[in-house]
Structure 1
Amino acid sequence: MKIIKSDAQWQQELTPEEYYVARQKGTERAFTGRYWNTFSAGIYRCVGCGTPLFASDTKFDAGCGWPSYFEPINPDHVREERDTSHGMVRTEILCNICDSHLGHVFPDGPPPTGLRYCINSLSLRFEPTE
């Protein structure tokens, strides 16, 4: 089920930094996000709607400065779009439930998928395993 909110609602619910990344397709600086170096057990949820996106057991240190995962919890929870911004051609990843910008996916990840979902910490909320 799609979650649709006005810009004013998003601005009220998210911090200015989260709003910039999740709603305006911004990017946090490498090695500055709250989760780039987090390797505790748990679930990473969408900052906008709480949808479970990535599990800690799929997270790996890609050396890029952003949280990186080799697969989403449920492929139906993320959507890919072609991104031609900044003079590059990349594959953008969005939350398929609320359309929040998450990051990008690259074909240089580890087995078993060979993918690297490079995700902004500001697009995520971490829920540790009890």
Structure 2
Amino acid sequence: MSFCSFSRGEIYKDHFKTGMYVCVKCGYELFASKSKYEHSSPWPAFTEPIHENSVSKQEERLGAYKVQCGKCGNGLGHEFVNDGPKRGLSRF
């Protein structure tokens, strides 16, 4: 799965079948489809990673973290705190 397609080629944005989203580089489990929701961004949006160590985060600015695969460090995009579908949830 890739979060870095800027040419409207992101194939997982509107994909809502039941399953697991994994790192395209190493195959590590990142997000479950049950945490995915519709969002206006051009990328898929999730409320939480599947495992506590599925992702690693590095704060870039207040409320925004750069997110990498917890196993291989592949770049996945960002986490935006309190920007999820309900108050208090993050958007990955």
**Range class of TM-score, shorter chain:** 0.7 to 0.9
Give, in whole Å, the separation in 1 of the partners of 2:45 and 2:55.
Answer: 15
Give, in whole Å, the separation in 2 of the partners of 1:52 and 1:76.
Answer: 10
Deviation of 1:77 (Å): 1.6
- Letter of the 2:68 partner, please give it: L
> Are residues 72 and 113 of structure 1, via their aligned partners in 2, closer, same or farther at CA, if it must alter by over 3 Å?
farther
If asked which structure has higher relative contact order (CA below 8 Å, sep 6+), I would say 1
User: Could you say what secondary structure the match of 1:104 adopts?
Assistant: strand
Gaps of 5+ in 2: none
Alignment partner, residue 72 of structure 1: 49
Give, in whole Å, the separation in 2 of the partners of 1:112 and 1:53.
Answer: 22
More helix by share: 1
Give, in whole Å, the separation in 1 of the partners of 2:30 and 2:23.
Answer: 6
Alignment partner, residue 77 of structure 2: 103
CA displacement, residues 72-121 of structure 1 (integer Å, 9 cap, x when unaligned): 0002121001337xxxx84110011101001100021023751000xxxx
- Letter of the 2:24 partner, please give it: V
- Letter of the 1:47 partner, please give it: V
Alignment partner, residue 91 of structure 1: 65
User: Could you say what secondary structure the match of 1:75 adopts?
Assistant: coil
Show the 5 A alignment for 1:15-26.
Answer: none
Show the 5 A alignment for 1:20-59.
Answer: 27-29=4-6, 31-59=8-36
The higher radius of gyration belongs to 1
Task: State TM-score, norm by structure 1.
Answer: 0.61
Give, in whole Å, the separation in 2 of the partners of 1:30 and 1:62.
Answer: 17
Gaps of 5+ in 1: 1-17, 22-26, 118-130
Aligned length: 89
